[in-house]
Amino acid sequence: MSRLVIVANRVPDPRERGASAGGLAVALKDALMRRDAMWFGWSGATAPETSTTPKEFRHGRTAYVTLDLGEEDYARYYQGFANGALWPVLHYRLGIAKFAREDWVGYQRVNAAFAAALAPLLKPDDTIWIHDFHLFLMAAELRKLGCRQKIGFFLHVPFPPRSVFLGLPKALDVLAALAAHDAIGVQTEDDAENLRATLLADGDAAAAARVGAFPVGIDAAGFASLAARRFRTKEVATLRASLVDRALAIGVDRLDYTKGLPQRIAGFGKLLERFPHHLGKVTFLQVAPVSRGDVATYRALRRELDESVGRINGQYAEPDWAPIRYITRAVARPTLAGYMRLARIGLVTPLRDGMNLVAKEYVAAQDPADPGVLILSRFAGASNDLEGALLVNPLDPDDIAEALDIALDMRAEERLARWKTMDAAVRTTTAAVWCRNFLAALEGSVSSAEPGQANDSRRTARRRAA
Ligand code: ADQ
Q: Give the distance between the most distant pair of CA atoms in the chain.
A: 72
pLDDT mean by block of 10 residues, the chain; 466 residues: 94 68 74 91 96 93 96 97 97 96 98 98 97 98 98 98 98 98 98 98 96 96 96 97 97 94 98 98 95 76 95 97 95 95 98 97 98 98 97 98 98 98 97 95 80 43 41
Q: Report the pLDDT value the prediction gives residue 121, as an integer from 0 to 100.
A: 97
By most ligand atoms within 8 Å of CB, the mutation choice from 29, 357, 385 for ligand 1 is: 357
* Phi/psi of residue 454, nearest 5 degrees: -60, -40
Reply yes or no on whether 399 is catalytic: no
Candidates 91, 134, 156, 181; catalytic one = 156
Q: Report the pLDDT value the prediction gives residue 462, as an integer from 0 to 100.
A: 41
344 lines ligand 1 (CB under 6 A): no
Q: Alpha-carbon distance 101 to 84, whole Å? A: 12
SS in 3 state form for the chain?
Answer: CCCEEEEEEECCCCCCCHHHCCHHHHHHHHHHHHCCEEEEEEEEEEECCCCCCCEEEEECCEEEEEEEEEHHHHHHHHHHHHHHHHHHHHCCCHHHCCCCHHHHHHHHHHHHHHHHHHHHHCCCCCEEEEECHHHCCHHHHHHHCCCCCEEEEECCCCCCCHHHHCCCCCHHHHHHHHCCCCEEEECCHHHHHHHHHHHHHHCCHHHHCCEEECCCCCCHHHHHHHHHHHHCCHHHHHHHHHHCCCEEEEEECCECHHHCHHHHHHHHHHHHHHCHHHCCCEEEEEECCECCCCCHHHHHHHHHHHHHHHHHHHHHCECCECCEEEECCCCCHHHHHHHHHHCCEEEECCCCECCCHHHHHHHHHCCCCCCCEEEEECCEHHHHCCCCCEEECCCCHHHHHHHHHHHHHCCHHHHHHHHHHHHHHHHHCCHHHHHHHHHHHHHCCCCCCCCCHHHHHHHHHHHHHC
Q: Report the pLDDT value the prediction gives residue 463, as an integer from 0 to 100.
A: 40
Q: Report the pLDDT value the prediction gives residue 458, as an integer from 0 to 100.
A: 40
Report how far ligand 1's centroid is from the alpha carbon of 83 (Å): 16
Q: Report the pLDDT value the prediction gives residue 19, as an integer from 0 to 100.
A: 43
By most ligand atoms within 8 Å of CB, the mutation choice from 24, 186, 254 for ligand 1 is: 254
330 lines ligand 1 (CB under 6 A): yes
pTM for the model: 0.94
Atom 16, ligand 1: residue with shortest CA distance: 358
Candidates 202, 353, 385, 423; catalytic one = 353
222 lines ligand 1 (CB under 6 A): no
Report how far ligand 1's centroid is from the alpha carbon of 356 (Å): 6
Atom of ligand 1 at shortest range from CA of 187: 38
By most ligand atoms within 8 Å of CB, the mutation choice from 264, 291, 348, 356 for ligand 1 is: 356
Contact 97, 88 (CB under 8 A): yes
Q: Report the pLDDT value the prediction gives residue 15, as an integer from 0 to 100.
A: 76
Atom 7, ligand 1: residue with shortest CA distance: 356
Task: Of 80, 105, 91, 168, give the one whose Cα is nearest residue 465.
Answer: 168
289 lines ligand 1 (CB under 6 A): yes
